[in-house]
Structure formats: C-alpha cells, structure tokens
Chain A
C-alpha cells in the first residue's frame, strides 16, 4: 500500500470541548467507575472540587472530536475498513472537572509503512481554560495492506 509521508507534521485547528456533569456520570457508569469523586457531587465538593471529577480515560471523550480530523482527512486517505487501533497512550496533568472547557490540538506525528501495512500516529494535546495541560494522547493505528 502507499502512504503519504508528506502529511507528517500536519496540524489541525484546535477544538473546544465543554465538559458536562452528566456526561462524566454517563461515561463513569459505562466503564464501571466506582470512585465517588466521579459519581457523587457532594463527595466531589467535599473533597474540594468544583464539580464531578472525570475518570482519567474520559480523555477519549474530549479528545475524540480532534482526533477525528486526521482520521477523516482525505490527504491521509485512511481506509476505515482496514483500520485497526494498534495502541494508545495517555499522559495526564491537571484533573478535568465538569464545567471545564478543554482545548485540544492534534498533529500527525508519524506515518510509515512496514510489511505492506500502513502505520499512522496522531498526538492530541489538551489544555483547560486556565492553560494547564490536562492530557497528551498518542493514538497508534494500523491500516492493513491488501
């Protein structure tokens, strides 16, 4: 398969995600989260937080709209029917709390080809409304060859 190496380094416009209390609760229930900071508003406030605290992997929710940009970019031309999510990394900074506005930028950090398969790596960086970094995500994808 052929891959377009020229898109390495490509960045996309930042997107803002407004974190909602009930979205945190919905996500927390879906992953079986049991921490009361993520589920019980009184407990979160008693612990000094303004609102419910997002579980760390809630990053997939606020980073998803940004990471969709390269996935759907015709310049990269990813064939979804052959796409496999190979690996994922998150590094976390400040906690995310309901009411936060999270700004995420995404960059194509690597494109390669090995054994007939295409490899695409995207990096997402998210900051909160105070400019503090909350999460850096690395999304590793494989597009299987014919």
Chain B
C-alpha cells in the first residue's frame, strides 16, 4: 500500500469553523489578540484538526472511514492558519492486510506532528 502526500492550507477562519464543529473554543485558536497576549505568534491550529489531516491522508488512500483502525500522534510545535501543511506517510510494515504507517506533518519547514503512526486496513474489511 502507498499513501500519497496530502497537502492542505487552512484558511484564515478555519479555526473558527473547527471550534464550532469540535466544541473546542479555547481562545488561543480563535482570538488573535488573546493568542498574542499569552506569547503566541497569533491564532494557532487545533492539534486535533491537524491529527484529522493525518487520518484523512490514510482514509483517502486506503478506501474510506472504515480503513483506519488506530492513529497515535505526538504534538510538537504549533500549526498556524494560512500556510500549507504537508502530511507525509511512509508505510513501515505491510502484511497484506494491515499496514503500519509512520506520519509526519510539516509546516514552514518544521514538524508540527511527528512520531505519528497508524494502522490502516485496505478497504476497511
């Protein structure tokens, strides 16, 4: 199995839509002024949104929502809106049924998720 690289650029208001969709209204994600007041460069992406991009890279390649059995991520650094993210997936093991995939998410040349790994089943059988 091969998992193509996924690229996505979150727009300026993505964090507001994701806050509503997920229920996570932490102001560091939606309030530019608040984020700066606590020493951040500005609004930062929700880590769990970035994790969802890791999941999407797997399910789009493997055949739908039933194909992802496990996903573990470590959050490193911070993602920001309006800059492209790349999700790079490397199949480490593949026994013909389940693939073990290593995943890295980078933005502006830095990893914002690393040491991530997933168990992916073809077609989700």
Q: In the assembled complex, which residues on chain A have CB atoms less than 8 Å from the CB atom of B68? A: 56, 92
* Cβ contacts A22-53/B at 8 Å (1 or 0 each): 01001101111111011000000000000001
For the complex, give the distance between the alpha carbons of A143 and B14 in Å: 27
Bound complex: CA of A71 vs CA of B48, how far in Å?
16
Assess the A90–B66 pair: CB atoms within 8 A: no
CA–CA, A92 and B70, complex, Å? 6
Interface residues contributed by chain B, number (CB under 8 Å): 31
* A32 interface neighbour in B47, B53, B69, Cβ under 8 Å: B53
User: Which of B49, B64, B72 touches A37 (beta carbons < 8 Å)?
Assistant: B64
Known: A35-B65, A56-B65, A86-B75. A30 touches B70 (CB 8 A): no
B66 touches A55 (CB 8 A): no
B residues near A132, Cβ cutoff 8 Å = none
The 3 closest A-B pairs by CB, nearest first: A30-B21, A89-B72, A31-B52
